[in-house]
Every structure is written in C-alpha cells, then in structure tokens.
Amino acid sequence: MKNISILGATGSIGTQTLDVIRSEKDHLSLKGVSANTNSEKIIEIIEEFNVEYVVMMAPKSYEVVKSYCLVNNKSTKVLYGMEGLIYIATMDSVDIVVTAVVGMIGLVPTLEAIKASKDIALANKETLVVGGEIVTYEAKKNNIKILPVDSEHGAIFQCLQGNKYEDINKILLTASGGPFRGKSKEDLVNITPNEALKHPKWNMGKKISIDSSTLMNKGLEVIEAHWLFGVDYDKIKVIVHPESIVHSMVEYKDGSIIAQLASPDMRLPIQYAINYPERKNSRIKPLDFYSISQLHFDKPDMDTFRCLKLAYEAGKSGGIMPTVLNSANEVAVDLFLNGKISYLSIERIIEKCLNKYNNIQKPTVENIIEVDKDVREYIRSTY
C-alpha cells in the first residue's frame, strides 16, 4: 500500500489525482489533503476517503470544516495554514506527496517533504522555477525521487527510462499553442479574460489557462525541465503541437528521437508518477491512429508571445531572476483576470520587473521569499 498526501486537492490536478486513487484503492491510500477555500469539496473528500488530516488555508473555510467534523463526530483532524501544509507533507505514514497547489506556496512544504524523505509527485512547477537549485540539491542529498506530473515532463521522464541523461542531445518540449495560436500582436490587444481561458485541449485552472495562452506556462516548463533533467537551456526546444498527442520527445546523441504519445488526459502522468516504477491499467481513452490522420509541428512565435522569450532569458540568468519572473507573472495574471490591466500588459509588467531587480546568484529560501514579496508589493502599488 502506498500512502499519499495531496497539497491542493480541490483543483484540476488534485481532483484528477483523486480519480486515480479512487480507481486503485487496493494499493493507494489517501492520508492528507489541503485546499485553499473550497470547504464543500473537502467535506466530500472527508466523507469518501475518511482522510486522517485536512488543511485549509483560508480562516473561514478552516472554521467551516472544523465545525463540520465536530458536529458529525468525524475522526479527521483539521489543520490550518502553512504549518498544516508542512505537517501533511512530512507525516511518518506518508510515502509520496502530490504537490498540486498553484504558485509559490508550494516551495516550503515541498522542501520539508524532501527533507523528511518523501518522494514528490510534482505538479507545482513554481517549486523548481524559483528554487530549482535548492530543491534538486536536497532531493539528491536525501535520496528521494521527484516524479513529474506535468504532461510534458512526465513524457520526457518516460522517454528517458532505460537511457542515460548524459546521452541527451535535445529535449523537445511540446506546446498546444493555446487559444491564440497563429494570432498577431494586433489580434491580442483587446483580448478578454473569458477568451484567454478557453484552452482548446486541456481543462485547467484559471491561472494556468492564462499562462498557457501567453506561453508563459511553457516558459516555466522550460525552467522546470532544466532542473529536472539537468539539461542546458540551449538544448531545450519548444515545439508547437496543436493536437496535444505527442506530449514531448527526447533526442539522443546518436540522432534517435523517442516520443511519448497518448490521449490528452492528465490522469496518465498522475497515475505514472504515483505508481512509479510500476505501470497500472489504463484510465484514459486509447489512441486511434486511423482517426488521428495528421500531426502538426510548428516553431513558437516568441515575438508575439514574448513571455516564452522572457522565461528563457530569466532561466539563463539564473539566481533570483526566475523568482522575479514567476512572481511578476502571478500578480499580472491576477490583475488581468480581475479586469485591471490589458492582456498584453502581462508581458510588459514581467519585463519591467526583470529589468528593475538586480540578480542574486545562489539565493536562499529566505531571499526567494523576500524578493517574491517585494515584487508583488511593487506591482500592486503601481497598477
């Protein structure tokens, strides 16, 4: 039996992880979950899985869930805030932690889980974007596995099985292109949040959907791939693949290219990560190559979608710059979703912040948290 905690159980990745656990109860057991505000879904999880611990990040939601458990005589213990996240990430009974929270909040509990020798099924890409050097060092030091849950990184991980990392010539990271593939800069001037949220292939949360439309999501994945697989940025190439059938590829030094293909369904990389090194029976629709007929591959337009270019630049600069990139993007996306800035202002704000802050090479966790706070305060006070 493999015991699991999910950080961020009510979002897209979290709910699909629950689907996998639900279908494999003979060998997967859910011990702890967290959510931000969604007390209703957490109560449903308590009823179905009888989890030992739940964590709520919002005070009112914490009180709602705590009261529910008390009134209904539930054995589930209800915790609050960052201390709670760290607790369910480091519990003695837990074998693997699925980090499905969105944003910087995932960094500290993920690090604590690693130090407690828990394997990580990583869906929170920001953890490696802002703290890649620290996280990978701790993972190696504590001999734990970071198992990627992102569709693309999960694909790369599978393509590497049985091969040596030093034999990698190139990582080919696929991107759907989002809802605005083929659009010009002029076409993007008056884009609304509702238009940007309409992803053609994947069902994701609001923040990730906007990131996908700007190609920032792919930029963050480039930085994540650099740390996960130890490959230089010049050897990580983004390829626009609108069908989202080829989830990524690895080119080896002998010229061979190995690709991972599957229906676009996040339950596959989740299932592979939490069951690794075993493969379990499929939970997704099988591919029908006769009906697919054609697959298309294009070069990304980094002049129109400058967020991808900015991510490469921040990644290559290293140090604190990926933190600046990520923090500026998170705030800018929130401002856009709330109608306070235009769509194209997202990339302008990010670039402005990258030019404003001086780099700090080899930042500590404290440096990362401090700069993250400063970037957020600067943007909020300016826009």
Is 313 inside a domain boundary?
no
Which domain-ending residue is among 116, 144, 172?
Answer: 144
Is 149 contained in some domain? Answer: no
The DSSP secondary structure of 111-147, one letter per residue, reads HHHHHTT-EEEE--THHHHHHHHHHHHHHHHTT--EE
Assess if residue 297 is contained within a domain.
yes
Locate tokens 């001999």: which residue? 143
If one counts the domains in the chain, the total is 3
- The answer to the question of residue 222 being in a domain is yes
Do 358 and 295 fall into the same domain? no
Cβ atoms of 132 and 226 closer than 8 Å: yes
The 53-56 sheet, strands edge to edge: 77-80, 53-56, 28-35, 2-7, 96-99, 119-122, 146-148
φ/ψ of residue 180, rounded to 5: -115, 20
**pLDDT over 70 (residue 203):** no
Chain segment 247-303, per-residue pLDDT in tens = 999 999 999 999 999 999 999 999 999 999 999 998 899 999 999 989 999 999 999
Range of the domain at 269: 156-306
Same domain, 104 and 165: no
Mean pLDDT of 354-377: 96
State whether 371 and 283 are in the same domain.
Answer: no
Confidence of residue 201 (pLDDT cuts 50, 70, 90): low
Distance between CA atoms of 107 and 134, rounded to whole angstroms?
Answer: 10
Q: How far apart are CA 222 and CA 240, in angstroms?
A: 13
> How many other CB atoms sit within 10 Å of the CB of residue 176?
21
The answer on pLDDT for 200 being more than 80 is no
Could you write out the DSSP letters of every residue in 24-73? TTTTEEEEEEEESS-HHHHHHHHHHH--SEEEESSHHHHHHHHHHHHHTT
Same domain as 331, residue 237: no
Same domain, 62 and 116: yes
| 140 lies in the same domain as 160 | no
Q: CATH code at 81?
A: 3.40.50.720
| pLDDT tens profile 209-253 | 999 999 999 999 999 999 999 999 999 999 999 999 999 999 999
* Average pLDDT value for residue range 180-205: 87
- Are the CB atoms for 249 and 255 separated by under 8 Å? no
SS3 151: helix
Count Cβ atoms below 10 Å from residue 360 Cβ, excluding itself: 17
Instruction: Specify whether 83 is located in the same domain as 127.
Output: yes
Q: Per the omega criterion (within 30 degrees of 0), is the bond before 277 cis? A: yes
The mean pLDDT of the chain is: 95
Tell me which of 254, 283, 306 is where a domain ends: 306
371's enclosing H/E stretch is: helix 365-382
Instruction: Determine the average pLDDT of the residues in 143-153.
Output: 96
Domain boundary among 123, 144, 165: 144
Q: In which order are the strands placed within the sheet that holds 257-261?
A: 236-240, 168-175, 246-252, 257-261
- For residues 367-378, give the mean pLDDT: 97
Query: Can you give the CATH number for the domain in which 326 is found?
Result: 1.10.1740.10
Are 183 and 118 in a shared domain?
no
The structure tokens listed for 150 are 């992102």
CA angle, 199 as apex, 345 and 109 as ends, to 5°?
A: 75
Residue 312 CB: number of other CB atoms within 10 A? Answer: 19
Q: Are residues 40 and 129 in the same domain?
A: yes
25, part of any domain = yes
306-337 residue pLDDT tens: 999 999 999 999 999 999 999 999 999 999 99
The residue with tokens 């828990």 is 118
Q: Is 327 in the same domain as 244?
A: no
What tokens were used for 350? 């990010």
On the question of pLDDT at 347 being above 80, the answer is yes
- 169, with CB counted inside 10 A (0-12, 13-18, 19+), is middle
- Answer yes or no: is 151 within a domain: no
| Dist. CA 340–CA 351, nearest whole Å | 18
pTM of the model: 0.94
Report whether pLDDT(29) > 70.
yes
Answer yes or no: is 236 within a domain: yes
DSSP string, 183-209: --TGGGTT--HHHHT--SS----HHHH
Shared domain for 128 and 269, answered yes or no, is: no
| Average confidence (pLDDT) over 134-153 | 96
What's the confidence (pLDDT) of residue 199? 75
Q: How far apart are CA 30 and CA 54, in angstroms?
A: 11
Quick one: pLDDT at residue 198?
A: 85
Q: Do 72 and 185 share a structural domain?
A: no
pLDDT above 70 as % of the chain:
99
Residue 312 inside a domain? The answer is no
What Å distances lie between residue 203 and 93, 129, 208, CA to CA?
A: 32, 22, 10
